[in-house]
Structure 1
Amino acid sequence: MSDLFLLTEAQMRRIEPYFPLSHGVARVDDRRVISGIVFVIRNGLRWRDAPREYGPHKTIYNRFVRWSRLGVFNKIFAELARKAGKPSRLMIDATHLKAHRTAASLLKKGLFSRRIGRTKGGLNSKLHAVCDGRGRPVIMLLSEGQMSDYKGAALIIDALPPAKKLLADRGYDADWFRQALDERGITPCIPSRSNRKKPIQHDRRLYRQRHKIENMFGRLKDWRRIHTRYDRCAHTFFSAICIAAAVIFWL
């Protein structure tokens, strides 16, 4: 497997505590199967096209779907980000992720939506994220593509970790958002909208650091199954995003 991706033993030791317990028959080698999941997501392959070195493709796919439903990958990302400590600076933004025709279905029978919406660019999903001062994601949220930055911020605000400052573009320039940050002791660094009667000053020099969250989105989209959504179910697609974020930034 010299030409294929394989998690190191040190990386496995960091994520193994969050794996479900095995009952009865022992599971197939976790390191090989998880590495196969990462390889498929990063290269945008069909599950059936996973290299044979990772084992049967059905085993890889079934493990991914089963653990996605259990929220295992979401927990791995959240715990790795939490253990990094409290950031002194935060950044918030959102980006669109194109839905492939195999996943592009607005309606779904059941309790949960697919988190796919219609915009001028077609059917897509939207990833809202908060990262630390080094451009590493600490909070992520998947929504329909047409959801505004305002609504995404409203869903994320209660989960923000303690920090001194938060950087955002003028799309987040709202009085309620600034007030919510002030109540949490976070100083906003947000440019004023052009239609604001009394512009609010911000630290222009500090604002230049906001490119780091754009770089973070770019690195996530380098993974083919993140850049283009092939998964119909929202929980499996978000699990793929959590896997990519954990491997790129936290392992």
Structure 2
Amino acid sequence: MTTKVVALVDALGNLANFVLLPGQAHDMKGVEPLIDGVAFDALLADKAFGADWLLTEFDARGATAIFPAKANRKFLRDYDKHAYKWRHLIENFFAKIKELRAIATRYENTASSYAANWHLAAAIIFAR
């Protein structure tokens, strides 16, 4: 059993919310539940999050997408390269989570137990 985690972190790199997905699912399936009802001015993300519907959603919200377009896009859009360097905070959060062996190897048999451990791990990391 594999699990994919799509996480939303705040500007300091602390977990705000996350969604568990089956391992074979694309990350984009978890984006809509994460950003639904969340107010933000900009979103730092991976190139994989450059779907047209998501960029349209950002425009409707007045938010900025701070990530490069995939190389196979017909039109490459501009993004703030200086702000994109802060994406390391997201990667740092995942590195901190993976320090906890039970999270990294997923010992839990149910998604609810695994999600509970993610919440616990995020609280421990926040308290450090």
TM-score for both structures, normalised by structure 1: 0.49
SS of the equivalent of 1:151 reads helix
CA distance in 2: counterparts of 1:250 and 1:167, whole angstroms = 24
CA distance in 2: counterparts of 1:143 and 1:222, whole angstroms = 21
How far does the alpha carbon of each residue in 1:31-60 deviate from its partner, in whole angstroms, 9 at most, with x for none? xxxxxxxxxxxxxxxxxxxxxxxxxxxxxx
How far does the alpha carbon of each residue in 1:208-227 deviate from its partner, in whole angstroms, 9 at most, with x for none? 10011000001011111101
Q: Is 1:199 paired with 2:85? A: no
The CA deviation at 1:228 is 0.7
| AA of the residue aligned to 1:129 | A
Identity %: 37
CA distance in 1: counterparts of 2:56 and 2:41, whole angstroms = 14
SS of the equivalent of 1:179 reads helix
The CA deviation at 1:250 is 4.8
CA distance in 1: counterparts of 2:25 and 2:127, whole angstroms = 28
CA distance in 2: counterparts of 1:237 and 1:127, whole angstroms = 11
SS of the equivalent of 1:227 reads helix
| AA of the residue aligned to 1:141 | V
Q: Is 1:125 paired with 2:3? A: yes
How far does the alpha carbon of each residue in 1:58-87 deviate from its partner, in whole angstroms, 9 at most, with x for none? xxxxxxxxxxxxxxxxxxxxxxxxxxxxxx
Q: 1:166 aligns with which of 43, 56, 63?
A: 43
What residue in structure 2 maps to residue 218 of structure 1?
A: 95
Q: 2:32 aligns with which of 151, 154, 159?
A: 154
Q: 1:176 aligns with which of 36, 53, 70?
A: 53
Max Rg structure:
1
What residue in structure 2 maps to residue 138 of structure 1?
A: 16
CA distance in 1: counterparts of 2:33 and 2:56, whole angstroms = 15
CA distance in 1: counterparts of 2:19 and 2:127, whole angstroms = 18
CA distance in 1: counterparts of 2:5 and 2:94, whole angstroms = 9
RMSD: 1.4
How far does the alpha carbon of each residue in 1:180-225 deviate from its partner, in whole angstroms, 9 at most, with x for none? 1222222111201111111100001110100110000010111111
Unmatched segments (≥5 aa) in structure 2: none
| AA of the residue aligned to 1:166 | L
| AA of the residue aligned to 2:124 | V
Unmatched segments (≥5 aa) in structure 1: 1-115, 117-123
Structure with more contact order per residue of length (Cα contacts < 8 Å, sep ≥ 6): 1
CA distance in 1: counterparts of 2:116 and 2:46, whole angstroms = 27
TM-score for both structures, normalised by structure 2: 0.93
CA distance in 2: counterparts of 1:201 and 1:209, whole angstroms = 17
